[in-house]
Structure 1
Amino acid sequence: MRLLRHRPPPPAPAQPGDTLAEAENLHVRLGTRPVLHGVSVTVRAGEVLALVGPNGAGKSTLLSALAADLPAAEGVVRIHGRPAGDWSAPELALRRAVLPQSASLSFPFAVEEVVRMGRAPWAAVHPDGDDRAVAEAMAATEVTEFAVRPFSALSGGERARVALARVLAQRAPLLLLDEPTAALDLKHQELVLRLCRERARAGDAVVVVLHDLGLAAAYAHRVAILRAGRVAADGPPAEVFSDRLLSEVYDQPVEVLPHPRTGEVLVTPRR
């Protein structure tokens, strides 16, 4: 007798402004240590939400909780309107794609094989689009020329772009990116944030952990500023980035200035 494999249905297309993920009064502990204290944040289709704050503020922990990779001690995380724990792993893989801080592999997979791993959730649903999705993701992240090279032979920045290509190839409507620009040069930092904006324009929701406040100000629709496991402010960069707040949060004098040509927000340490 042949056993039929359960095929989770793909998510319905989101409308701009739809809530694709949210944390409500979220408390998270790592071991016995409390890390997040009553955090509430909403992630909407069509927006780039940047999580910023000093080291240890809880940014990566919040991202992992929104991905349903960390359990809540208190409060709730919802993904596409349902508590995160109500989704099966295959269902989650069709709804959210996660880029961790570091990418490492134990075997010498070629770059194209690594990117193709992002298509695994669609194997039982819609495998026909794999080749196109992989090719488009590699082109967008400028790694096509590395297609046959071993992932292990790449530089740190090249690996980071291949890892992002894998996430893009997954084509989930919720993208959760943890410090995607950390290993990149100036050109590719800009490229990654432009891709975040493009995915938001296409209707996805993007959450990105950033240390560069200038990038957050330039590309995020909203920023959530975390301090000691709590949200100190949440809103458009022009509204929540201020000298006083950022100086307090980072314990470092900061200036927020208008760009002399465009008037957009610039953030720089006061030296």
Structure 2
Amino acid sequence: MGVIGVFGRRTRELPEAVPHGGLAAEADGVRVLRGRRAVLDGASVGVRAGEVLALVGPNGAGKSTLLAALAGDLAPAAGSVRIGGRAAGEWSAPELALRRAVLPQTAELSFPFPVAEVVRMGRAPWAGTVREAEDAAAVAEAMAATEVAGFAARPFSALSGGERARVALARVLAQRTGLLLLDEPTAALDLRHQELVLRICRERAAAGDAVVVVLHDLGLAAAYADRVGVVHGGTVAAAGPPAEVFGAELLGRVYRQPVEVFPHPRTGVPLVVPDRRTTGADIPSKHPA
């Protein structure tokens, strides 16, 4: 890793790119407690450079908690998390910010910053480094990709929920880290912009980044993810390519809703639809909530 020294600042190590297929982050046997309840209990998953990993599962399964653990934002009670080949807790907050960018579920700001300034906040970790020279290009590229350049001067507080979501994503993209962790980035978006966000994820993976995205839409996960991790009962119940993981029995048990899984007639991508011939009330859950 390259080492930089900046007058008046702590010396930081600049990250090196993770080779394609190499582990960018890894959770191993992670246990996370909320009070006395184990939200995660033995969850393990690896995130590789050059791939999109989608985390799916029912409400309350622990998807966002696993994402926060992978980001190094949440210290597990047991198990380990590694980012860039090192234990997450060994990185300082500024060093982590050079290695991973996190998009939370909600984006709130107390002051009416213009959109362009909100996106520029994503460049803060690189201040004083040689990559500070990329600031203008990174901001412009991120705003163009997310289609928010047209309202760059508008205050963030005046935007709709979907517009805010895209601006928040632009901030993450402007950060230009090799690991992107996105928590439900499509939740507030219309059909067009849902597709836009997942295409961006695929583009970042093709450029060598590792992308983890929490999704509720199984169709989007099947269409765009290289691998999916089904989070259920505090652990990753299954992980692998969507065509291998998305089976009617597993999904019906995890979601307690009967489903049918069909290959798309043109692409072969799994299509998951509710089996409305029954309600699912009688389906047992292997891991009760």
* TM-score using structure 2 length: 0.92
Q: CA deviation at 1:9?
A: 2.4
Matched, 1:67 2:67: no
- Which residue of structure 2 lines up, in the alignment, with residue 227 of structure 1? 232
Equivalent pair of 2:24/2:179 in contact (CA under 8 Å): yes
- Which residue of structure 2 lines up, in the alignment, with residue 152 of structure 1? 157
Q: CA deviation at 1:31?
A: 2.8
Rounded to whole Å, the distance in 2 between the matches of 1:3 and 1:133 is: 25
Q: CA deviation at 1:8?
A: 1.4
- Which residue of structure 1 lines up, in the alignment, with residue 283 of structure 2? none
Rounded to whole Å, the distance in 2 between the matches of 1:59 and 1:187 is: 25
- Which residue of structure 2 lines up, in the alignment, with residue 106 of structure 1? 110
For the aligned residue pairs, the C-alpha RMSD in angstroms reads: 1.1
**Secondary structure, aligned partner of 2:196:** helix
**Secondary structure, aligned partner of 1:262:** coil
- Which residue of structure 2 lines up, in the alignment, with residue 197 of structure 1? 202
- Which residue of structure 2 lines up, in the alignment, with residue 24 of structure 1? 28
Matched, 1:246 2:244: no
Deviation digits for residues 119-152 of structure 1 (CA, Å, limit 9, x no counterpart): 0000121211100000000000000001000000
Q: CA deviation at 1:230?
A: 1.3
Change (3 A) 1:105 1:217: same
- Structure with more relative contact order (C-alpha pairs < 8 Å, separation 6 or more): 1
Matched, 1:53 2:57: yes
Q: Counterpart amino acid of 2:87?
A: P
Range with bigger deviation, 88-97 or 24-33: 24-33
- Which residue of structure 2 lines up, in the alignment, with residue 167 of structure 1? 172
Name structure 2 gaps, 5 residues minimum.
1-5, 277-289
Matched, 1:208 2:208: no
Rounded to whole Å, the distance in 2 between the matches of 1:152 and 1:132 is: 25
Which of 164, 185, 189 in structure 2 is aligned with 1:184? 189
Matched, 1:8 2:42: no
* TM-score using structure 1 length: 0.98
Which of 90, 103, 120 in structure 2 is aligned with 1:86? 90
Q: Counterpart amino acid of 2:142?
A: A
Which of 109, 119, 122 in structure 1 is aligned with 2:126? 122
Rounded to whole Å, the distance in 2 between the matches of 1:161 and 1:258 is: 31
Rounded to whole Å, the distance in 1 between the matches of 2:267 and 2:221 is: 16
Q: CA deviation at 1:43?
A: 0.3
Equivalent pair of 2:52/2:227 in contact (CA under 8 Å): yes
Q: CA deviation at 1:3?
A: 5.5
Q: Counterpart amino acid of 2:272?
A: V
**Secondary structure, aligned partner of 1:63:** helix
- Which residue of structure 2 lines up, in the alignment, with residue 133 of structure 1? 138
**Secondary structure, aligned partner of 1:13:** coil
- Which residue of structure 2 lines up, in the alignment, with residue 38 of structure 1? 42
Equivalent pair of 2:239/2:245 in contact (CA under 8 Å): yes
Rounded to whole Å, the distance in 1 between the matches of 2:226 and 2:68 is: 21
**Secondary structure, aligned partner of 2:14:** coil
Equivalent pair of 1:7/1:124 in contact (CA under 8 Å): no
Q: CA deviation at 1:219?
A: 0.2
4+ runs deviating over 3 angstroms: none
**Secondary structure, aligned partner of 2:59:** coil
Aligned-pair identity in percent equals 72
